[in-house]
Amino acid sequence: MADEVILLDFWPSPFGMRIRIALAEKGIKYEYKEEDLLSNKSPLLLEMNPVHKKVPVLIHNGKPIAESLIAVQYIDEVWNDKSPLLPSDPYQRSQARFWADFVDKKKIYEVAKNLWTKKGEEQEAAKKEFIEIIKLLEQELGDKTYFGGDKLGFVDVAIIPFYTWFKGYEIFGNFNLEKECPKFIAWAKRCIKIESVSKSLPDQDKVYDFVVQIRKKMGIE
């Protein structure tokens, strides 16, 4: 019996993008179900993720896996014969998990959100913190092609979805990340040339338009 794989997602979600990339890297066919998070969450989402009631949720043969990094690791373990994302070496694997966890523990999404929802001192503080986070990641990247070495891996999959939001971050935050962190942006541009990444991420302009709409709904000028 073929695997039934369903992804409950919301198109601009960087967390959902992680799972989309992982599935694409493995060549796994799946059914994509777009959720209306703003006004009408589906009964399936509420059933499959009753604790957090949020996307993304990967459903494999009727069993739900919530939280994006956990889902990406699950995908890597279940379909372990195709394009491994985590290193085989236990120490290197621990380091990959550390840096992916660092991105979420540092709440890069929430920090960056303040770049386009706040003004004045709050926005400046968010800009400083955001750039510091990216510089730390750039330091960890070093001279490697990708975070794991010479091919796309777990840490790359964890981080690259945020790149789709960078246009909004930079315009509303009034800064240029390429000037601040050129190696990081060069890495991002390498990543988006990979087919599994490019076909899984929405265009930056589309995400920017989404941010503009949200700002209008929030009454931010």
pLDDT tens, position by position, 36-72:
877 789 999 999 999 999 999 999 999 999 999 999 9
For the 90-217 domain, the top CATH level (class) is: mainly alpha
Looking at residue 39, its pLDDT comes to 76
Is 176 exposed, middle or buried (CB count within 10 Å of its CB: 0-12, 13-18, 19+)?
exposed
Rounded distance between C-alpha atoms, residue 166 and residue 188, angstroms: 11
Q: Where are the domains of the chain?
A: 5-78, 90-217
pLDDT tens, position by position, 19-29:
999 999 999 99
Please, which contacts does 149-155 make with residues 24 or more away whose CB atoms are closer than 8 Å? 152/25, 152/85, 152/191, 152/194, 152/196, 152/197, 153/85, 153/86, 153/87, 153/96, 154/72, 154/73, 154/76, 154/85, 154/86, 154/96, 154/97, 154/100, 155/96, 155/99, 155/100
- Assign 6 a pLDDT band (cuts: 50, 70, 90): very high
For the 5-78 domain, the top CATH level (class) is: alpha beta
Question: 19-28, 34-43, 73-82, 84-93: which has the minimum mean pLDDT?
Answer: 34-43
Looking at residue 205, its pLDDT comes to 98
Rounded distance between C-alpha atoms, residue 13 and residue 15, angstroms: 5
Which residue spans within the chain are E strands per DSSP? 5-9, 31-34, 57-60, 63-66
Bridge partners, 60 (sequence order):
5, 63
Rounded distance between C-alpha atoms, residue 132 and residue 120, angstroms: 19
